[in-house]
Amino acid sequence: MKNNALHIVLAGLCAAVLASCNVHRQQRVNISEIASLGSIAALQAAPKEVQVERRGTRAFEVYDELTLAHVEFDDQGKFWQECEEYDRTTGTWEPSDRTQLDALEDYVDREIGRGSYRNGAMMIVFVHGWFNNSKEGNHNLRDFRRALEGIRADVAEDRPVLGIYLSWRGGSLMAPGAKLFSYWDRKKIAHKIGQRDLGEAVTRIAMMRQAIIRRGERSLEKNARTRLIMMGHSFGGAALFSASSRFLEDELIALEKSNYRGHIKRRWDLLILANPAFEALRYEAVDRYTTNMMMAMRDGVRPGKYSQLPRVLVASARNDRPNQVAMPIGQTAANVFEARQPFEWPLMTKSIGSYDQFHTHYLDLVDTPNGGEARLSPIWESQMQKTRRDANQRSLAAYAADSKTREFGNRSFLDPFARVFDEPGDARTVLPCMVASVDPRIVDNHGGIWKKEFRDFLVNFLKAREAAALRAR
């Protein structure tokens, strides 16, 4: 009887776990339909069942205002290969030998041939995080569409907007009590995806960017109006950084070895990591070479103008509880028996946003006559002001000895809205990588990356960067 009762309990537990599992499958299998869905605003206002019917399985959402393409990855980090295409001869849907990314390349090639990109393009890539996917109705997908609309209205000007939603099974266990235990599994899968086919996707999307510049704009790189902006959130930030970090590190190394007379190749224009959920150790080399550049500039080295425009922006909310609490617990459990040097332990257990030594900026909401406005300011500048207010606590000499907070003449090295981006003809004091500690009123907790204040900041940031890029030609 006892054995039977135990078997019943175990069977019940197994059934509960299976019931909480999120199905591992490709969502966007239809790569044939690229006819316009009309106005994105009109479809967004339609009943939910109409939205699901019209775009639920489409890999391409083509609207009057913009295009959104889907590329999905399985738990092995590989492209899904279960796409279907409509056979007009038989009138049936048939398995395709093309992946979603293959279809995207074909789409871009056709649009180049039609002259759609003669003024360039705004290419916006997003990788979602924990618990999300590409299923119709997902809130990250909905918010990404809204962000694309904002970029189309405020930044793109006469350039078409091409959004690319890179998705994966962000949640394997979805039951409220069980899903938190998927932390280790989903983090591992995120890095696996980044090290496998997401890396290939980033490279091929960068090649599409080059094709649009050469054959669409018929332009040289330095005069191009095409932009590739990539953004990852949470474990999506982990996946995207895993896919792009080797290239970034190699470019920073080469830049230092050339005494900053070279430039960072424009594989992408800006990489944004919003509340990224990965350990600080993975970012250590980028921070080290960025700090070396900062010190070289202090000593009088004058890098080339365009190469130092921001390439990476890490935005981490000050109240990001999952990264501040769950990450140390999860990383401690995963690494407690790992061999390491003493200084590596905090780097292994803290997220990049929680590791204060990596912070370069504050992003705060400042009151203005027109309401609140997000302002980015270098940490050394804020700390210098604090030191001057309370010189008894810390002398200016001791303050200046801190390599992270030295003042470079009377200019900010990374303030995009004050002396740097607005200084006519000179963007030389801008460094390529920044880590910002963000006011919770701009990004709230871990998932609040779609607040209007943050969207407005990113739009203003892109505008400022565009103006500086034009001046730095």
pLDDT at 408 over 90: no
243 touches 205 (CB < 8 A): no
Packing angle, helices 452-471 and 139-154, rounded to 10: 40
So what's the pLDDT on residue 368? 80
So what's the pLDDT on residue 419? 41
pLDDT at 2 over 60: no
Among 125, 103, 469, which Cα is nearest to 273's? 125
pLDDT-derived band at 223, boundaries 50, 70, 90: confident
H or E segment and range at residue 434:
strand 433-438
pLDDT at 397 over 80: no
Cα–Cα dist 355/345, whole Å? 12
pLDDT at 472 over 70: no
pLDDT-derived band at 431, boundaries 50, 70, 90: low
Q: Among 11-25, 189-203, 319-333, 385-399, which is the least confidently predicted range? A: 385-399
| 276's tokens | 């990224």
Among 172, 209, 165, which Cα is nearest to 188's? 172
Q: From start to end of 35-133, where are the E strands?
A: 60-62, 67-72, 84-87, 92-95, 122-127
Average pLDDT over every residue of 51-75? 96
Cα–Cα dist 439/254, whole Å? 34
Kindly list the distances between the CA atom of residue 93 and the CA atoms of 29, 134, 145, 261, 374, in Å, as whole numbers in the listed order.
10, 21, 28, 55, 49
At 137, give phi and psi (nearest 5°): 100, -15
Among 323, 324, 302, 274, which Cα is nearest to 430's? 302
282 touches 327 (CB < 8 A): no
Three-state SS at 313: strand
Higher-scoring residue by pLDDT: 302, 138: 138
Q: How many CB atoms lie within 10 A of CB 59?
A: 30
Cα–Cα dist 301/261, whole Å? 9
pLDDT at 251 over 50: yes
Among 133, 194, 201, 135, which Cα is nearest to 169's? 133
Classify residue 422 by its DSSP letter: T
Kindly list the distances between the CA atom of residue 458 and the CA atoms of 98, 161, 313, 326, in Å, as whole numbers in the listed order.
34, 16, 10, 27
Dump pLDDT digits (tens) for 433-456.
889 999 999 999 999 999 999 998
384 touches 360 (CB < 8 A): no
So what's the pLDDT on residue 301? 75
Average pLDDT over every residue of 313-336? 94
So what's the pLDDT on residue 367? 85
Average pLDDT across the chain, whole number = 84
Cα–Cα dist 318/181, whole Å? 24
pLDDT at 56 over 50: yes
Taking the alpha carbons at both ends of the chain, their separation in whole angstroms is: 81
What percent of the chain has a predicted confidence (pLDDT) above 90?
Answer: 60
pLDDT-derived band at 380, boundaries 50, 70, 90: low
pLDDT at 287 over 50: yes
| 166's tokens | 């890179």
pLDDT at 396 over 50: no
So what's the pLDDT on residue 37? 95
Among 274, 130, 272, 275, which Cα is nearest to 189's? 130
pLDDT at 386 over 50: no
So what's the pLDDT on residue 412? 37
So what's the pLDDT on residue 422? 45
Cα–Cα dist 352/285, whole Å? 12
Cα–Cα dist 238/198, whole Å? 11
Dump pLDDT digits (tens) for 108-121.
999 999 999 999 99
So what's the pLDDT on residue 417? 39
Q: Among 92-101, 114-123, 290-299, 302-311, which is the least confidently predicted range? A: 302-311
Q: Tell how far CA 156 is from the center of its chain.
A: 19
pLDDT at 378 over 50: yes
Packing angle, helices 197-211 and 100-113, rounded to 10: 0
pLDDT at 99 over 80: yes
Higher-scoring residue by pLDDT: 129, 267: 129
So what's the pLDDT on residue 308? 62
So what's the pLDDT on residue 305? 58
Q: Among 285-289, 292-296, 418-422, 448-452, which is the least confidently predicted range? A: 418-422
For the question of whether the overall pTM of this predicted structure is more than 0.75, the answer is yes
Higher-scoring residue by pLDDT: 464, 99: 99
Cα–Cα dist 83/385, whole Å? 58
So what's the pLDDT on residue 76? 97
117 touches 111 (CB < 8 A): yes
pLDDT-derived band at 284, boundaries 50, 70, 90: very high
DSSP-assigned letters across all residues of 342-393: TTHHHHHHSBGGG-GGG--EEEEEEEETTEEEEEEEEHHHHHHHHHHHTTTT
pLDDT at 74 over 80: yes
Kindly list the distances between the CA atom of residue 79 and the CA atoms of 26, 60, 71, 104, 211, in Å, as whole numbers in the listed order.
10, 16, 8, 13, 22
Higher-scoring residue by pLDDT: 422, 243: 243
pLDDT-derived band at 391, boundaries 50, 70, 90: very low
Cα–Cα dist 449/394, whole Å? 36
| 188's tokens | 């591992």
So what's the pLDDT on residue 263? 73
So what's the pLDDT on residue 327? 93
Among 309, 311, 254, which Cα is nearest to 473's? 309
Dump pLDDT digits (tens) for 8-41.
544 444 444 444 567 899 999 999 988 899 999 9
| 48's tokens | 């939910």
